[in-house]
Each structure stands twice: as C-alpha cells, then as structure tokens.
Amino acid sequence: MPCEVVVVLDVDTQEEALDIVGVCGDGGWFKIGSQLFTRCGPGVVRSVRDRGNRVFLDLKFHDIPNTVAHAAKAAADLGAGLCTLHASGGRKMIEAARKAVEETSTRLLAVTVLTSLTDAMLEEELGVPGTAAETVARWAKSAVEAGAHGIVCSPREIALVRAAVGPEPLVVTPGIRPAWAGQDDQARVMTPREAADAGADMIVVGRPILKHPNPAEAIRLIREELAE
Ligand code: C5P
C-alpha cells in the first residue's frame, strides 16, 4: 500500500477547515482533533466527509471500556475512517472499542506514550519503569493484540513499532517535515520519503502544508515525494 498523506485540520472554525480541504482537493484524508471538534462538534466531521473526504478523528479516547466502546461506535456512526484511543487504557478498553466498531469500516489507532513525555517523567511521575522506547513497543504490541488496527507513533519509533506489531497493522506518524519545510516545534522529524521507507502507512502533516504560501503546491510536492 503506498503511504498516504493525512492533512491536519488544527483550526478553530469550520470555515477555515473547509478552506483547507478545498485547497488540498477533495478525496483525501483529513485529521480532526480535539481543538476543532470541541469548537465545532460532529457537524464539522460530516461537512468534511460530505465533500468526499475521509476523516481521521483524533480524540484519543481514554475511559472505562463501556464508555470508550460507545464513543468508538459514535465515531463510526459519524463516518470516521480512523479514530484514536490511548493504549494505556488497557486491553479491556481496546477490546470493547474493537467490538463496538466490528461491523463498521472504522479503524482504531492506539496512541502509546505521548512524545511529550520523557523517560524520567514516565518513571518518576507516572511510575512506568524502563525507557519510553521499551514502553512504546510493549504497549503497541498489547494494543494490537487487544484489537487496535494500528498505532500512532513518532517517526523515530516507526521501526520499533513495526518490529513489535508485525507487517499488518497500520503505522501512522506525525512529525513529518519535507526537506523544503522548516521544523517548527517538532524536534525529531523525518521527511515523507524517510517515514515511508521506515515503514509508515500514513503520514500526518500540518504546518508544512497549512503555512506554505501555496498549500496546494505543498501537498502536491509531498504526494510526489511519496510516489517516487
Ligand atoms: O503541524 P504539524 O505537522 O507539526 O502537525 C502535526 C499534528 O500531529 C498535530 O495535529 C499534532 O498535534 C499531532 N501530533 C504531533 N506529535 C505527536 C502526536 C501528535 O505532532 N507526538
């Protein structure tokens, strides 16, 4: 499967979101996270979908299994193609979510250790021993065994996640910067080509497209790089 681009819709209004969708051309993947969803609600997901696009609903569910199952079913009913939950919610939570979306086309992506957490924070604040990389690999494997269809991870974790979960599950990564783009606040980045070569199925890209003087050209360049 060729690596696909997911364009981030981290904006405050439906108008801004639909402007970006229009510029990128319909028929692609767009990520709606807690910023846009909390501002605009489920209607914005429908609006993006109604134009023939697919939605990655990034709300990172983390709650008791029954609640997450109902939330995952709600995401599926809304037509989200991808939906995130936290691997740290445990196997029962993921199993319940998987059961809830079983008859739908919605795929569940597990988020392992947030990249904002360091080894020291994991150990000292959260009581999770070992390195973050070890925890990422362990939680990724466990999440997939419990029913997650894929994993969201940073580019530098692609190889270890792939090794932990095998070839089938989706591996989706943000932290992407084409060679022609600045790094913004992303510390460890990969180019689209590097991420695809490392084993990513989908790359999540925001500012390199949104802040480009010609966003349509930016997405064209990224797609071209992935097709090389
Ligand atoms: O603008 P940029 O390409 O950095 O956007 C990346 C997107 O991926 C944002 O929605 C950001 O919240 C998300 N993300 C990330 N790093 C993570 C997890 C999510 O950049 N570790």
pLDDT of res. 115: 86
Place 169 in a pLDDT band, splitting at 50, 70 and 90.
Answer: very high
Domains of the chain: 4-227 (3.20.20.70)
Distance 209 CA to ligand 1 centre (A): 13
pLDDT of res. 26: 75
Query: What pTM does this model have?
Result: 0.95
> pLDDT tens, 107-162?
999 999 998 888 999 999 999 999 999 999 999 999 999 999 999 999 999 999 99
Distance 174 CA to ligand 1 centre (A): 5
Catalytic amino acids? 60
Distance 113 CA to ligand 1 centre (A): 14
First to last CA, the chain: 14
> pLDDT tens, 4-43?
999 999 999 999 999 999 999 878 999 999 999 999 999 9
> pLDDT tens, 65-92?
999 999 999 999 999 999 999 999 999 9
Which residue among 5, 8, 37 is best mutated to probe the pocket of ligand 1, counting the most ligand atoms within 8 A of its Cβ? Answer: 8
Strand partners, 176: 190
